[in-house]
Amino acid sequence: MTHPTTSQASRVPLRIHRTRLIDGTGASPVEDAVVTVDAEGIITYAGPAATAPESAGQNEIGAVRTVDAGGRTLLPGFFDCHVHMSYAHGAHPGRRAELDPVLVTLDTAARLRQTLDAGVTTARDLAGLAAGYRTAVESGRIVGPRLQTAVRVISHTGGHGDVRLPDGTDLSDGMSELADTTDEARLAVRRVIREGADLVKVCATGGMGSPYDDPDDEGLLEEEIRAVVDEARRHGGRPVAAHAQGNAGILNAIRGGVTSIEHGYGLDDRTVDLAGERGIFVVPTLSTVYAGINKDTMLDYHYQKKTRWSGLTKENIARAIERGSRIALGTDAAVGPHGVNLMELSYLVDLGMDPMAAIVAGTRTSAELLGVEDRLGTVTAGRVADLVLCDGDPLADIGVLGDPGNVVCVVQEGIVRKDLLGLVDGAACADGRRP
């Protein structure tokens, strides 16, 4: 049995009208807009209704699918640049190993579907997700966000990625690669690339959930991070994401040449400015402190670290926002709940970002981080038609996007994946996702 890729799936040209368009570029909304999409899933027009073409362009059978948005807001498909899709919300290290691998696979597929329904059409998994899931989405075996995956995270012994028990039992379920020298760091990069990694992730600091260290502890040495970056460059120029919470490790990561700082809880003015000078992205994962603290479900050491750091995190990220850091959207889903990813927008706004800037962070800027800004991230002619239609006005209340019930229609590469209200004229969505 063969499975059609997304690009091979049956498509019909699409026309969305009577919509308020927020295109992801930061431009003012177009109040009465039309967006047309051709049979290849490419946007052919996005702008005022007054200058829109009459037809989206018929296919060989003359069909054009229309969506009467009824004045609802249309936005680009969103990104989540930091997820862990193969882990359930709140699962402690080793929890996945207790499950039958078949159940892990099915649960992961369900979380991917849930994430897409939340309005996230592209996601970056930063350890734990095998490359086969990326292929499964690409080939149409499962439906979910298009994926980039780091496969594993590179850590030193006793560091954030080392969740072995004192007796040597490994609870990481294959999530970690340990490296304690520059040569071992290079080998670790080669191993994750062999497993299909799109990018490389390193631990530049300790963390909240790891039992043997703290966020202020340094992880891989600066020279080891630099070796990882160089090895990733040698293999296709892959980006490097750094788990980096305390400021000393953040500084090591920046000097080592990483692409993005993940979490960044301890950022100070010096590291914010240095990251800005070098074009390094910051992915604050605020969901981990707004929605990722639960005393009843967390191990005590984890809970204590989270409560100590939550106020400091908000203060430092607010300052990073004020100083113009290049912020992309990421949630660390699994630490926080899956399927409400766009609540992260509300947390950015709570710390001082205006709603339009938060939307840009979750669309265009995130596309830049993932290296796909030439195809995704904005609703503009020539881009791939990843679209989200929502109830409410996210510029007046950014929180409307955090409720998946308000995300009434999701289009991915021109294919309608979710249609809660039956807005699509003449056809159900591609995989029947209606109530």
pLDDT cut 70: percent of the chain above it: 92
CA dist 28 and 15 (Å) reads 21
At residue 297 the predicted structure's pLDDT band, cuts being 50, 70 and 90, is: confident
166 and 224 assigned to the same domain: yes
Residue 60: pLDDT above 60? no
Handedness of CA 35, 10, 389, 28 (dihedral sign): negative
Residue 435 maps to a domain: no
18 and 115 assigned to the same domain: no
Residue 231 maps to a domain: yes
What CATH code is carried by the domain that includes residue 408? 2.30.40.10
Q: What is the pLDDT of residue 251?
A: 98
pLDDT cut 90: percent of the chain above it: 79
Task: Report the half-sphere exposure of 60 (CA within 13 A, side-chain side).
Answer: 3
Residue 41 maps to a domain: yes
CA dist 378 and 84 (Å) reads 25
Q: Beta strand 415-419 with 78-83: parallel, antiparallel or unpaired?
A: unpaired
Of 330, 345, 369, the domain-final residue: 369
Residue 56 maps to a domain: yes
Residue 170 maps to a domain: yes
95 and 202 assigned to the same domain: yes
Please tell me whether residue 333 adopts helix, strand or coil conformation: strand
141 and 269 assigned to the same domain: yes
152 and 175 assigned to the same domain: yes
Residue 424 maps to a domain: no
Residue 66 maps to a domain: yes
Q: What is the pLDDT of residue 435?
A: 39
CB atoms within 10 A of CB 378: 23
Q: What is the pLDDT of residue 163?
A: 80
pLDDT tens-digit map of 77-119: 999 999 999 999 877 655 665 678 899 999 999 999 999 999 9
Q: What are phi and psi of 177, to 5 degrees?
A: -120, 125
Q: Looking at residues 354-370, what average pLDDT do you find?
A: 98
- Asked if 201 and 241 touch (Cβ cutoff 8 Å), the reply is yes
189 and 261 assigned to the same domain: yes
14 and 35 assigned to the same domain: yes
CB atoms within 10 A of CB 48: 13
pTM of the model: 0.94
Q: What is the pLDDT of residue 55?
A: 67
DSSP character for 377? S
Residue 62: pLDDT above 90? no
Helices 247-256 and 269-277, packing angle to 10 deg: 20
70 and 142 assigned to the same domain: no
Q: Looking at residues 155-172, what average pLDDT do you find?
A: 82
Residue 237 maps to a domain: yes
E strand or H helix at 254, and its extent? helix 247-256
- Asked if 342 and 120 touch (Cβ cutoff 8 Å), the reply is yes
289 and 400 assigned to the same domain: no
Tokens for 72? 């609802």
256 and 311 assigned to the same domain: yes
What CATH code is carried by the domain that includes residue 354? 3.20.20.140
29 and 178 assigned to the same domain: no
Query: 70 is in which domain, residue-wise?
Result: 6-77+377-419
Total structural domains within the chain: 2
286 and 337 assigned to the same domain: yes
pLDDT tens-digit map of 128-151: 999 999 999 999 999 999 999 999
What is the rounded radius of gyration, in angstroms, for the C-alpha atoms of the chain?
21
